[in-house]
Amino acid sequence: MLRASRSVLVLTLVLMAGLSVAAHLATMPSKEAPLLPELQPAGPARQLVKAETVFQPPHHVLESSGTPVVATDPVRPATSPSPWIDLRRRLGEASGVGRRARAGEPAAVTDVKQRLASEPDPRVRQALTTGEMPDLGRAGRSYRRQPELPAPAKPAEAGRQDVYWLTPGSVDGTYQSRLDINDRGQAVVDTVFDSPNGDRWHVRYPGWAWRDSAGRLVIDARGQQVEYLERPPWGQWSPDSMLIGSDGLIDLIDDKHDAGLGTNGARGPG
């Protein structure tokens, strides 16, 4: 009994050891079996979008492939210099020719004579004859935009005129201006104004004179320096430019764009 019991005990121990080894081997992964990836929790899928950049083929590639090539140059609006800038350019050119003519250059002397025969602008004519830039006043110093005046069509005649004018809606008296124009197209405007309250104005300023395409006498006093002969202590004067028609009626406008209306001396005051 004792031997048999021992034998049974040994067999039982061996059997238990074998079962333990088998269980351990079962838990180890096989070398041939691939490892399974870990499972990810369920959720919204995220899609990555790759940005695509398109480059236009060069013209020679398009032409060789038969694709028509259309010019795509930017369209620039047509621009022209302002009348003031264009006048300064012409004056600079004329004064240069005038200087060479005064120095005795034969070609410049001939050029000046030809230009003077057809040039209606008194400012350009002065630059041609003197070789110097004429005084155009203080254009744009006090006001952003000066009034526009008609372009010269022919020179103005020398002489004197008296004009009488008032501002629209004004009931405080009449302005009296004397215009003196020399044979070079230079003008002097001498204006007197007596207001009902006793204030007296007497101002003088230079200008330029010419005829426009409609035959009107144009007095250009834009930007000119005003000489005060008499004035109230509180005021400043804006120089007045004028358009005088063949009928004697005149239109005026100053550098502040204030308008006026009147008649010349041939028709009498106001």
Mean pLDDT within 76-90: 71
pLDDT at 132: 94
Whether 72 has a pLDDT exceeding 50, the answer reads no
Whether 25 has a pLDDT exceeding 70, the answer reads no
Domain edges within the chain:
83-130, 154-267
Closest CA to 99 of 131, 129, 134: 131
CA distance 222 to 206: 9
Return the CATH fold of 154-267: Lipocalin (2.40.128)
pLDDT at 166: 85
CA distances from 249 to 26, 56, 156, 212, 258 (A): 124, 67, 17, 15, 17
pLDDT at 188: 98
pLDDT at 14: 53
State the pTM of this model: 0.66
Question: Between residues 169 and 155, which one has the greater pLDDT?
Answer: 155
Mean pLDDT, the chain, as a whole number?
77
Whether 102 has a pLDDT exceeding 70, the answer reads yes
Lowest mean pLDDT: which of 15-29, 99-113, 137-151, 159-173? Answer: 15-29
pLDDT at 39: 46
pLDDT at 230: 95
Mean pLDDT within 248-263: 89
Mean pLDDT within 125-133: 94
Does residue 223 come out as left (phi exceeding 0), alpha (psi in the -120 to 50 range) or beta?
left
- DSSP string covering 130-181: HSSPPP---TTSS-SSPPP-PPP-EEPPPEEEEEEEE-TT--S--EEEEEEE
Mean pLDDT within 28-33: 49
Contacts by 69-73 with C-beta closer than 8 Å and gap 24+?
none
Q: pLDDT band at 49, cuts 50/70/90?
A: very low
Q: pLDDT band at 270, cuts 50/70/90?
A: very low
